[in-house]
A and B are shown apart, each in its own frame.
Chain A
Amino acid sequence: MELEPARGALLVPDESGRGSHWLVLPAASQTPLPALVQQAIDSGALLGDGQIEGRVLLDAGSWRLNLSQLGELQRILGERGLELVTICSSQPHTHVAAAGLGIVSQWPNSTAPASPAKPDSELQVHRGTLRSGDHLETAGSVLLLGDVNPGARISAAGHVLVWGRLRGIAHAGCQGDNTACIVALQLRPLQLRIAGAVARGPEGAPPAGFAEEARIVAGAIQIDPAQPVWPISD
């Protein structure tokens, strides 16, 4: 995706072939999204590089898209016989909206096969509570300023840090990092996962006022009072 369109959106054939296309949104635009996408489809069809049909991967860049905008987009594409299968975005809000519609979402540059050796140490900060049905997934570590409610999921290739109550499902090291940890001010998840290990959350009332931390100790997930150190090294 070296192509950087000046104003309009672009339809670019996916390099992996199989007839799918990348829909690349411009960095900024005055034109509303539906019109941009219509234009891209129409001009793409005019260029005549074969019939555009099948699957579309959306490169939303830094666009902050909400559920209704994505739904609208899905409808426009659907009318042309196109199916929106993947969204690539650097905005957590877009990822949450995509999860709401059941569309696979990914962070930029995670299209290359992920190396399980060293996850991206970059920290994503997300502000706001994850409610039931939401799923936040990041390529590096994630810091959530808010709660994870029952029925919501948070997962990261690195650490999962929750400045709030964790009552949903958390998955740290989801690409295989055994050293990843899960920290929360109140750790009462339905289920905890670190790399390949799975544990049910603890029952009973949490100790008041102590943050807790879950890591893998001798192959099993163990919960201890959180250490007063920042788990992410520079």
Chain B
Amino acid sequence: MSRKPSDAPWLDWVNVALLVLAGIIVMTPTAWMILSSFKPSHEVTAYPPTLVFSPTGENYATLTRQTPFLSYAVNSLIVTAGSTILGLLFGAPAAFVASWTRITWPAVVALMARMAPGTLFLLPWYVMFRQVDMIGSYWALILTHAVITLPIVIWVLLPYFDAIPRSIFEAAQVDGCSPFRIFRRIGLPLVSSGLAVSSILAFVFSWNFFLFALVLSNAQTKTLIAASFNFIGEGSTNWGGLMAAATIIALPPLILAIVVQRWLISGLTLGAVKG
């Protein structure tokens, strides 16, 4: 970024200081989590916290020894991938139609559903899924997690579709293309980076979502994040194990975010800089 003549050098220092501050605020709990996962359990809660300690892999070993950690991870993957695909399957056409018709109220409704507290849905869903005997099934989790993924996909893709000149879609219409083919042959390829951004965001939010899995899963379909709750017992909590689980849970979203950060930033600011 080139400096404008009027910019004072001290502004750069303020920038750096603010970024460092933000970094500390964000990174401290993360660092605490990662460090704690390598500490013996009794040292995690020690006060004052120990910064120098002999690292141990015991917490990670306990994780795999005492719990079916791998199958929880597979459950998480199935639910997250399933709900992300479901979100894309319905969210992408919805965003296209909302952009094309300029009727955005359904998208607003979807967003409101996302903003409502999850507990609001929980009881009705529990009753409904029990009536159709779906409690503990993957489908119950995938469908409920679509409440998270669908609004994300719609709202990330909307500005991408809006940014495509309308005449391109009209040219396709005149060229004899049906609306569905316009979506598939013209719309989708032109929002490919938006698809990547929305998939990743949907994946991360679904992966991290705790509440629905806690209530609607069973021992066989429990997701990682719900399973990690097992480490918090009444009276005694295995903090080391919990931190090890949390570190592993945080890895996939973290890796995804790093891999696609360039897309992510351009995608998140698209609506702001358009036009």
- Do A and B truly interact? no
Question: Chain A: residues with CB nearer than 8 A to chain B?
Answer: none
